[in-house]
Structure 1
């Protein structure tokens, strides 16, 4: 990562600075390279500015003072990282980014817990696909004259003579359902994020 190096006259100052900046890099590691660099440069510029206006004060004292004002990276950056990760997730629709964003935002409101649960429910469809492969006669979609339906595992539907409606199309329908619901839930998450930023 290319950043402007700050020159220090004291070795202790350099060690304190390097340690602080490494913590920032570690905390922002989940972000994209550009977001990570933006945050790093922002903190770096605050430290650089403070050191330029030290007014005859000891370098290490000025550095410690500005670091104290900037705060502990693990705490100060937590909401910003959560927000940036959510932005990345809703732009890319990447499931890994989505789950990381939700885990980072889980303490930021009940709605994120609901989204997390909705995404977890998609694994029910995955389970049904594998269950259909292992036990094709007891897994499926049964429908009876508009009065009732069963999706999933059912011995009773077979025993009552209700035919399995989807048959061989069950697995493709489940895959399509996973993709559709994932897309819709992520769009809702994107909409929720856009409301929060207004």
Structure 2
């Protein structure tokens, strides 16, 4: 993107500040998306300023920027949407986490997805705990019925009559389960994003 040059230093400072704000708001996006948004807004400013030649440069720029709106407000939904697209394409947990944070204010459904991913992190925590305390963590049944997937203190296991049914198979069962659930949740998130476009 070629920056616009202004004759008045104050106009240049206003423009540079606005462009910096756009860059800051679009920072979570990949380089291509950032540049696309920046070029689009820059071209609006350029075209708006060409139409006003010979008039007060500072006043015209301020009016134009006010019409475009604050980058923090106008770009928030676009950045959230683009980040969600990136996350569901790459399956990258970092991108998914950032996308959910950006989209959390866009509806209850994103809170639901955030809770699903948190549950997966809970499963990872259980695997770590199983390595540390193998007898306290597992899939517990009572009288042949499911009771708990998690941790229990050793003394409560006998008192409640709980039996851990997976034993040494807990980690080999949990790892593929986490991977499959992660893929399924991310595919559901992708489906949700696509249904929103329709």
Q: What is the alpha-carbon distance in structure 2 between the residues aligned to residue 61 and residue 148 of structure 1? A: 70
Q: CA 1:73–1:148 in 2, change beyond 3 Å: closer, same or farther?
A: closer
**What are the residue-to-residue correspondences of 1:48-197 with 2, within 5 Å?**
48-143=46-141, 147-148=145-146, 150-154=148-152, 155=154, 160=161, 162=163, 164-197=164-197
Q: What is the alpha-carbon distance in structure 2 between the residues aligned to residue 161 and residue 23 of structure 1? A: 58
How far did residue 58 of structure 1 move?
1.4
Unaligned runs of 5+ in 2: none
Is residue 7 of structure 2 the alignment partner of residue 17 of structure 1?
Answer: no
Q: What is the alpha-carbon distance in structure 1 between the residues aligned to residue 192 and residue 38 of structure 2? A: 28
How far did residue 144 of structure 1 move?
6.7
Q: TM-score, normalised by structure 1?
A: 0.90
How far did residue 168 of structure 1 move?
2.0
Q: What is the alpha-carbon distance in structure 1 between the residues aligned to residue 150 and residue 64 of structure 2? A: 60
Q: What do residues 112-164 of structure 1 show as CA deviations (whole Å, max 9, x unaligned)?
A: 111111111112211211221111122222457854454222445556484x4
Q: CA 1:82–1:148 in 2, change beyond 3 Å: closer, same or farther?
A: closer
Q: TM-score, normalised by structure 2?
A: 0.90
Could you list the structure 1 runs, at least 4 aligned residues long, displaced by more than 3 angstroms after superposition.
142-150, 154-162
Q: When the two structures are aligned, how many residues end up with a matched partner? A: 195
Q: How big is the alpha-carbon RMSD for the aligned residues of Structure 1 and Structure 2? A: 1.8
Q: What is the alpha-carbon distance in structure 2 between the residues aligned to residue 158 and residue 122 of structure 1? A: 28
Q: What is the alpha-carbon distance in structure 1 between the residues aligned to residue 19 and residue 148 of structure 2? A: 56
